[in-house]
Structure 1
């Protein structure tokens, strides 16, 4: 399943796009706290790239940057909160939320974890690596993912079934590596800091279906930004 779980069977396209824009807007506002100039703010630069790929309008993008950087009055202040626990069958899960109301969020998360087990901070994060993750696609058939990883300075890589690759980096090297990959024949699709499982649990059949349904419900919550799971589907 990889480091980040992605839900199967999304909702209608319009609804899915609305949820994506909400998540992108929150990320831009959080990133803009450290400065409105993307040339001086790597996290904001990456958030802007993702927003443009999702066809966010320039007006919406600029408004999010101004709100986040304090240039507009009345902006919503979002806070990042992280929850750890287990899905059914003792599958470790890390849930990152961006919220303007922590009390609402924790109430929702507790409800969503009824079929699993919500743990304390550190209860499962020890079983994950906190790393940079770069999703990239080759620009030509001769692009070599292993050589690209070495030359760009990535720690590791995972080749995906669709021909793309996930490059794993030190957190501090994320921006450097994503800038270097185009010269190695890869187009960067996304880049972020996330969690990579060390010992993913292997499941199949009904057990896998149960875990996926649990994760889908969490991913559907408006405050949830990212879901990371130690799961390897057989």
Structure 2
């Protein structure tokens, strides 16, 4: 899902979980600005489902909805900002931020990109596809990935060796497809819009380690929501 450099076996510390909840809460708050009723707000419904699957506490989730909808502590003004550029070794990177201070974010990103190259809008996005991505697992051995993709309306899919599947959709079809997949034997664990690299770069171990350190530093910034990278494997 565009963050393949991350260590899948990273310890599940309280700090790591807290950071995940903070990012999810921001997405819920932004989505809730268009209405606090998830049945009438598909973006909010997706954000809530993702938060629940990450085991976000119910009171944290409900507070984020109320805050975003302006029912608690006044209005929330997070803005969505996208930065494009290159990690070391000319690896393309797209960084999505949700911030209440664009100047602070811009300054932080400029500092973080010193070991790479910050570009202007469009610098690398042409080398990515903007898609819906739905992570799912089969509920039964009989579940057919190809049939599910076709019937639910996905454009493509990828399977991993551990039985996980990512279904790719047109951005406007994300909600419809994720709601349809359980009918065809798949349990959805997350659904969101992503940037998928068209031509991922292959690096040797030393160069890859350098790029991974660069990406980890960016991902650790409080305003950064998602980092997408054109890095193979």
- Distance between the aligned counterparts of 2:112 and 2:202, measured in 1? 22
How far residue 17 of structure 1 moved from its aligned partner, in angstroms, is 0.7
Contact 2:139 2:186 in 1 (8 A): yes
TM-score by length of 1: 0.95
How far residue 203 of structure 1 moved from its aligned partner, in angstroms, is 1.5
Partner of 2:165: 165
How far residue 16 of structure 1 moved from its aligned partner, in angstroms, is 0.2
Contact 2:200 2:230 in 1 (8 A): yes
Q: 1:6 to 1:48 in 2, by over 3 A?
A: farther
Partner of 2:62: 62
- Distance between the aligned counterparts of 1:65 and 1:136, measured in 2? 25
The answer as to 2:81 corresponding to 1:81 is: yes
Contact 1:78 1:98 in 2 (8 A): yes
Number of residue pairs matched by the alignment = 232
Partner of 2:131: 131
- Distance between the aligned counterparts of 2:232 and 2:158, measured in 1? 14
Residue 15 of structure 1 aligns to a residue whose secondary structure is: helix
How far residue 3 of structure 1 moved from its aligned partner, in angstroms, is 3.0
Partner of 1:175: 175
The answer as to 2:117 corresponding to 1:117 is: yes
C-alpha RMSD over aligned residues = 1.4
How far residue 58 of structure 1 moved from its aligned partner, in angstroms, is 2.0
How far residue 231 of structure 1 moved from its aligned partner, in angstroms, is 0.9
- Distance between the aligned counterparts of 1:49 and 1:147, measured in 2? 24
- Mean Cα displacement is larger for which, 2-11 or 99-108? 2-11
TM-score by length of 2: 0.95
How far residue 6 of structure 1 moved from its aligned partner, in angstroms, is 4.9
Contact 2:152 2:180 in 1 (8 A): yes
Partner of 2:214: 214
- Distance between the aligned counterparts of 1:60 and 1:231, measured in 2? 34
- Distance between the aligned counterparts of 2:2 and 2:215, measured in 1? 13
Residue 143 of structure 1 aligns to a residue whose secondary structure is: coil
Partner of 1:156: 156
How far residue 12 of structure 1 moved from its aligned partner, in angstroms, is 6.0
How far residue 11 of structure 1 moved from its aligned partner, in angstroms, is 6.4
Structure 2, unmatched stretches of 5+, are none
What does the per-residue CA deviation read over 1:115-168, in whole Å, with 9 as the maximum and x for residues that have no partner? Answer: 110000000001111110100011112222122111111000011232101100
Structure 1, unmatched stretches of 5+, are none
How far residue 199 of structure 1 moved from its aligned partner, in angstroms, is 1.0
Q: 1:6 to 1:30 in 2, by over 3 A?
A: farther
Contact 1:96 1:224 in 2 (8 A): yes
What does the per-residue CA deviation read over 1:50-85, in whole Å, with 9 as the maximum and x for residues that have no partner? Answer: 211222222221111111111223344211110000
